[in-house]
Structure formats: structure tokens, C-alpha cells
Amino acid sequence: MQAANRFLTDLRASKLSLGIWQFFPAPSVSRTLARCKGINWILIDKEHGNVADSGTLPKNFLIVGCAVKYVNGC
């Protein structure tokens, strides 16, 4: 399982990993951020942002579909 975690693999190899924290609830924002060049991961912040638990699944599908690592925030 850990071998499939690109984020952890890059972190342990001291590779540059650029990411974005998403606070906005709209799935279109997730898709736009995931299409940005050079972004390796997106964290959806459900604690400080305006994102409900029920809204994370559609965002997850959009992010993973763009080959960007999805990180689920608390």
C-alpha cells in the first residue's frame, strides 16, 4: 500500500512535491486546480474550508481523474 502512495514516496526521496489546499466547496474548483501544471496533490480542507463530508466524493473523482494525488483533510 505504501509503495502506491506517490506523496509518501516523493517525500521520503526528498523530491519536490507541490500541492494546493482547497477551501472552496465547488467541484469545478477541484477540476481547475487539478489541471494546473506542476501540481502533485490537492488537500481538501473540511475543517477550515466550506466543504461538507458529502461533497468530498465528487471532488475526489475529479482530482484523481486528472492524475493528481488527492489528500483528504479533516
Residue-wise pLDDT for 19-42, tens only, equals 888 888 888 888 899 888 888 888
Domain boundaries, the chain: 16-72
| Overall average pLDDT of the 1-14 stretch | 75
Residue-wise pLDDT for 56-74, tens only, equals 778 877 787 787 776 666 5
User: Alpha carbon of 31 to those of 11, 47, 49, 50: distances in Å?
Assistant: 24, 20, 17, 17
Are 40 and 18 contacting, i.e. CB atoms less than 8 angstroms apart? yes
pTM: 0.71
CA 18 to chain centre: 11
Rounded to the nearest integer, the mean pLDDT of the chain is 80
